[in-house]
Amino acid sequence: MTDAQEDHLRGIVEMVSEQIHRKYRAGQQEHGGNLWERTPLTGDLIDEAIDQATYALTLAQQLTWAKRLLEQARGLMFEEPLEARRLIDQAMGYL
């Protein structure tokens, strides 16, 4: 792999590690006990999968809305710069 690819991989691994630490500790604070003793995990896993699908579909919608707003702003940049700025600010709220 190239140096850039190695750097990219290293960054992803660091982000995942940080997020696992944060999420695990937050779950420990909220639920207590030992995760490896929690049974059954099937219901938890299904709930997380449903959340993930819901978040992914909502994010896809938001990105579509942001793209539409940015396309509108591009068309107004020169004639109506204040309206274009408002649309850009609105699109940025989705990102």
How does pLDDT run across 18-74, given as a tens digit for each residue? Answer: 999 999 999 999 999 999 998 889 999 999 999 999 999 999 999 999 999 999 999
Identify whether residues 19 and 64 lie together within a single domain: no
Expressed as residue numbers, the domain containing 28 is 1-38
90 and 54 belong to one structural domain: yes
- Domain check: are 45 and 25 in the same one? no
Same-domain status, 60 and 73: yes
| Domain match, 33 and 50 both | no
Distance CA(89)–CA(66), nearest Å, equals 10
d(C-alpha 80, C-alpha 76), whole Å: 5
Q: What's the structural domain count of the chain?
A: 2
User: Are 2 and 32 contained in the same domain?
Assistant: yes
pLDDT score for 92: 96
- Token pair belonging to 63: 């990105």
Contact 91, 69 (CB under 8 A): yes
My answer on whether 47 and 70 are in the same domain is yes
Are 38 and 44 a contacting pair, CB within 8 Å? yes
- Using a 10 angstrom Cβ sphere, with 0-12 exposed, 13-18 middle and 19 or more buried, the burial of residue 73 is buried
Global pTM exceeds 0.85: no
